[in-house]
C-alpha cells in the first residue's frame, strides 16, 4: 500500500490484506497512494466501501487532466508506462500518451494541444531531460 516495508507489515499484523482479485464484494477497500485506474475504482465502488487515500499531488494531476479533457487537449504523462500512478492518470484522460524517453515523443500526433504532467515520483533530472 505504501513504499515502507515496516508500515506494510504493521498493516498486515492488523489484518489488512493486499487485494488479490477485482472480484471483491462487501469489503472495505483502501486505495493506494498512487491511485487506481478510474474504471477499476468505479467497479470497486459498486459493491464495496472504498476509502480513497490518493496522494494530494496525484489528485492535483487528476484535476489537471480533467481540465485538459474539458478543453479537448491531450495529456502527456512523463513517467513509467506500467506504473500504477501513470495508469491511473491515463485512465482519466480522454487522449493520453506516456513519455518515458525521447523516442516516445515521435509517436505523438503534432496537430493538437497538450497538457504535460509528470509521475510524482520522477526525478528532477529525468523530467528536465525530456522537457528540455
Active-site residue set: 85
CA angle (68, 72, 73) in 5-degree steps: 55
Place of cell 468505479: 42
How buried is 52 (Cβ within 10 angstroms: 0-12 exposed, 13-18 middle, 19+ buried)?
A: middle
Q: What is the dihedral of CA 75, 77, 78, 79, to 10 degrees?
A: -170
Q: Which residues contact 101 (CB under 8 A, 6 or more apart)?
A: 130
**Are residues 53 and 33 in contact, defined by beta-carbon separation less than 8 angstroms?**
yes
Amino acid at each position: 500500500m505504501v513504499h515502507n516495508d515496516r508500515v506494510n507489515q504493521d498493516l498486515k499484523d492488523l489484518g489488512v490484506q493486499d487485494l488479490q482479485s477485482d472480484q471483491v464484494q462487501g469489503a472495505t477497500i483502501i486505495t493506494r497512494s498512487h491511485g487506481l485506474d478510474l474504471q477499476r475504482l468505479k467497479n470497486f465502488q459498486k459493491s464495496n466501501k472504498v476509502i480513497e487515500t490518493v496522494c494530494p499531488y496525484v489528485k492535483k494531476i487528476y484535476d489537471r487532466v480533467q481540465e485538459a479533457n474539458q478543453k479537448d487537449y491531450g495529456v502527456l504523462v512523463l513517467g513509467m508506462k506500467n506504473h500504477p500512478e501513470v495508469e491511473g492518470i491515463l485512465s482519466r484522460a480522454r487522449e493520453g500518451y506516456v513519455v518515458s524517453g525521447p523516442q516516445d515523443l515521435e509517436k505523438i500526433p503534432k496537430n493538437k494541444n497538450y497538457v504535460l504532467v509528470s509521475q510524482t515520483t520522477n526525478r528532477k533530472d529525468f523530467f528536465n531531460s525530456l522537457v528540455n
